[in-house]
Amino acid sequence: MIRRPFSKRSLPALVVLCLAWSANAARAEEDDTEALAKKSQNPVSTLISVPFENNVNFNAGPRDRTDDVLSIKPVIPVSLTEDWNLINRVILPIVSQGSRMPGQDRETGLADTTYQAFLSPGESEKLIWGGGPSLVLPTGTDRRLTSDKWSLGPSVVLLTMPGHWVVGTVVSNVWSIAGDNRDPGVNALNLQYFINYNMKGG
């Protein structure tokens, strides 16, 4: 076998080739990271996720107390056909509510649970959407944390993902359909918007 000695002239070309390969690999990894970040921010993506959201409400109630709401929102997508997905979303709110009258202590526990089912196209171009029912279950662990009503209504999600952005909204309205007649009826509109910008590299 004849072995040819390594030529020093080949070294610059080899270095350029390695640098180009590294750059392409890094760019592909950045693209994959951003795509994963966008999927995790999309309420109707096909990614199983368990996002957490914490909101602090100041000056709440007649005594201007501070309330804290930690919402656990597991999302489980199910592929119905090649063209349609069913996105199952549950909202479990853990609430710490300040006193509403003298002599009353802070109450912490689980509030009413919301289940949403979004029917969404498997492939969407510019506008991503989903729609379906929203059901509220009276799971509150204390009278102060529940409506004591079963409520039902429509819910819709709309979003778009231009460039590094993820912009959208989730809208729902529920009305009470069953529960304790001694409690007032429920007619609750909820509108939540989100605007996310994904930095380079995720």
pLDDT in tens, the chain (202 residues): 555 555 555 555 545 454 444 444 444 444 566 676 777 788 888 899 999 999 999 999 888 999 999 999 999 999 999 999 999 999 999 999 998 888 889 999 999 999 999 999 988 878 999 999 999 999 999 999 999 999 999 999 999 999 889 999 999 999 999 998 888 999 999 999 999 998 876 5
Q: Quick check: pTM over 0.85?
A: no
Residue of 27, 48, 47 lying closest to 39 (CA atoms): 47
Residue 72: how many other CB atoms lie within 10 Å:
14
pLDDT at 4 (0 to 100): 55
The rounded distance, in Å, linking the Cα atoms of 116 and 156 is: 10
The DSSP call for residue 4 is P
The rounded distance, in Å, linking the Cα atoms of 59 and 98 is: 10
pLDDT at 1 (0 to 100): 54
pLDDT at 54 (0 to 100): 96
Structure tokens at 166: 């993820």
| Tally of CA atoms within 13 A in the half-sphere of 67 that contains its CB | 20
pLDDT at 10 (0 to 100): 54
pLDDT at 19 (0 to 100): 47
The rounded distance, in Å, linking the Cα atoms of 156 and 78 is: 18
The rounded distance, in Å, linking the Cα atoms of 119 and 128 is: 11
pLDDT at 120 (0 to 100): 96
pLDDT at 77 (0 to 100): 95
The rounded distance, in Å, linking the Cα atoms of 196 and 160 is: 11
pLDDT at 112 (0 to 100): 97
Buried b (16+ CB within 10 A) or exposed e, 85-106: bbbebebebbbebbeeeeeeee
Instruction: Write out the H or E segment, with its range, that includes residue 48.
Output: none
Question: Quick one: how many helices (H) and strands (E) in the chain?
Answer: 1, 10
pLDDT at 111 (0 to 100): 97
pLDDT at 199 (0 to 100): 84
Whether the CB-CB separation of 191 and 160 falls below 8 Å is answered with no
pLDDT at 26 (0 to 100): 40
